[in-house]
Structure 1
Amino acid sequence: VKTVSFVSWNGVGGTANLEAGLDAAKKVGLEVISSDAVYELGTTDFFPVMGSVVQGKPDLIVLSGVSPAEAPLLIRAARELGYQGIMSTETAQDAKVLEEVAGTAADGFISIGGASAPELASEYMGKFRDRYIQVAGEWNDEAGTKVYALYMLLKTIQAAGPAVIDDVEAF
């Protein structure tokens, strides 16, 4: 991968992720083809946005700060416009939604997953997953990104003691 283009939504999350992505691209020596492709939340037709990005023929398209609802639509638009390169995001996605909406167009899409493969998951992860399914009815990969974050928050509060509930300076 030598060239990259970024697509982001027009909001704080999209802008912050875009800036971090541009910084990372610069640090590793990637040539940025474009970073001005932006869309509003709630957009459903991504062909106008992805058209100019695909025309630039980047090796990699990064969907900055993209939500699980919009990622498959962006992916599908890029593939239908003829893009065959690598696509990725730095945000968590739901594999089920990607498959349902983008289908095989999402094959090879790189994103933060919901957790390790079941055979690699810790006992803690397994218990979390079982409890989540019990409450929600089905697993969602986005939930898996919270498992260890919640655990670390709880362990940090436990280590700091009850005083931190009322006094964050106690941390």
Structure 2
Amino acid sequence: MKNRRNIAAAALAACLTASALAGCGGRKADEPVIRIGVIEPLTGANGAAGFQEMLGIRYANQVYPTVTIGGETYTVKLVEADNKSDCAEAVNAAGALAGEQVSVALGSYGSDLSMAAGAVFAENGIPAIGCSCTNPQVTEGNDSYFRVCFSDPLQGTAMANYAYQNNAKSAAVITQLGDDYSSGLGGYFKEAFSSLGGQIVYDQQFQAGQTDFRSILTNLQAQNPDIIFAPSSLTAAPLIIRQARELGITAVIAGGDAWENSAVISEAGAAAEGVVLTAAFDESEPANDEAAAFIKGFREYLRAEKQDESIPAVSALGYDAYLAAIKAIEAADSTDPAAICQALSSVVVEGATGTITFNETGDANKNLAFIKVIRDGRFQFLTTSTISR
């Protein structure tokens, strides 16, 4: 794979300097192709984060554009489907990918979207690799679904440990009703924080689409918690943060990995200063040579795409999910989805987020989460939290 990286880099450079970009990436008519499906929310409430995840996958495809099967070189074609941040649309998108005869699928950002699509992938015998979908239910009971990210029990426990170790003895929890990511992560935080001896002094859910949190925050303020854990969507997060500070609430505000998005900072403004969150990747601490190469190359890619050059964890995870797919295809030496699914169980991937192997439920064997803080208008590394498995 390292040799393909050099080949891909040279090809990309030639492509960017060529006068006719439309011809770049073309293939011979008789060159065999293997299709990798990508299901992401490119529009709707999760569109910003889904796009960041997609960028990581697209970049990986430029770095590793081919795979060898049976001694023959296959071009990897990405078949993208927008699930529009909607579970019903996720079912439709997964069905469309099945119709395109993809050999493996990547995604989706949003655990609920992944779960909705997962049933379709399982019915069609298509292995799927989640990038950042952290809810345990994504892989539970679905032998076709794997994921390269940590799960909510780990990151919820990591944040609880961080809070308690930094003198937070009381916590308030705010989660979104009907959101599996939000309610699940909140539950794991509460369980871990209470087991450490901390006290949950306020626990409240809000409705999807809610924009005014002042009533909830006023009631919370009366309990004077040391920390507010409010894992939520990118739509709700800046509103909760800003309205809390407007009410004079000074408690530490914390969220999950979904908050690592520039929209939180840009929309919450100065109120975002000091917010802490869990993350699966930190660009200042490359885990291996692959990670170092990814960081350098992806920044150049983002610059060419006129995107913010900071690297969110979802992009690194998208990159790693693609690498896992390529590794499994090579191990299976086949385009057959069933063979690829079987191969995924035993692959070892050196990715941007570290070494990845999968356990019996398809989850990545990970026990570490980064804790980041928003400081001076950007996400900065604070510490790490390692969880015993």
Instruction: Give the TM-score, by structure 1 length.
Output: 0.81
Q: Deviations over 1:115-169 (max 9, x none)?
A: 536x65633123223323433x32286x621233233323333333244751123
The question of 1:157 aligning with 2:330 is answered: no
Task: Specify the alignment match of 1:87 in structure 2.
Answer: 253
Opposite residue 251 of structure 2, the aligned amino acid is: G
> How many pairs does the alignment contain?
166
Moved more, 77-86 or 157-166: 157-166
Task: Specify the alignment match of 1:9 in structure 2.
Answer: 176
Residue 6 (structure 1) shift: 0.3
Residue 95 (structure 1) shift: 5.5
Task: Specify the alignment match of 2:187 in structure 1.
Answer: 19
Matches within 5 A, 1:66-77: 66-77=232-243
CA contact (8 A) 1:125 1:147 kept: no
What secondary structure sits across from 1:25 in the alignment? helix
Distance 1:140 1:13 in 2: 27
Structure 2 residue runs of 5 or longer lacking an equivalent are 1-167, 287-291, 346-389
CA contact (8 A) 2:225 2:251 kept: yes
Structure 1 residue runs of 5 or longer lacking an equivalent are none
CA contact (8 A) 2:260 2:312 kept: no
Q: Deviations over 1:29-80 (max 9, x none)?
A: 2111122x1112221111122221122110000012x122211110111111
Rate the CA distance shift 1:84–1:151 in 2: closer, same or farther, 3 A. same
Distance 2:250 2:184 in 1: 27
Residue 89 (structure 1) shift: 0.6
What secondary structure sits across from 1:146 in the alignment? helix
Task: Specify the alignment match of 1:43 in structure 2.
Answer: 210
Rate the CA distance shift 1:149–1:80 in 2: closer, same or farther, 3 A. same
What secondary structure sits across from 1:100 in the alignment? helix
Residue 100 (structure 1) shift: 2.8
Instruction: Give the TM-score, by structure 2 length.
Output: 0.39
Residue 114 (structure 1) shift: 8.7
What is the percent sequence identity of the aligned residues? 20
CA contact (8 A) 1:157 1:164 kept: no
Rate the CA distance shift 1:164–1:30 in 2: closer, same or farther, 3 A. farther
Opposite residue 234 of structure 2, the aligned amino acid is: P
Task: Specify the alignment match of 2:342 in structure 1.
Answer: 169
Distance 1:116 1:74 in 2: 25
Q: Which is greater in Rg? A: 2
Task: Specify the alignment match of 1:127 in structure 2.
Answer: 297
Distance 2:183 2:261 in 1: 24
Equivalent residue for 1:52, pick from 198, 214, 219:
219
What secondary structure sits across from 2:254 in the alignment? strand
CA contact (8 A) 1:10 1:40 kept: yes
Rate the CA distance shift 1:62–1:164 in 2: closer, same or farther, 3 A. farther
Opposite residue 139 of structure 1, the aligned amino acid is: D
For the aligned residues, what is the CA RMSD?
Answer: 2.6
CA contact (8 A) 1:92 1:114 kept: no
What secondary structure sits across from 2:257 in the alignment? strand
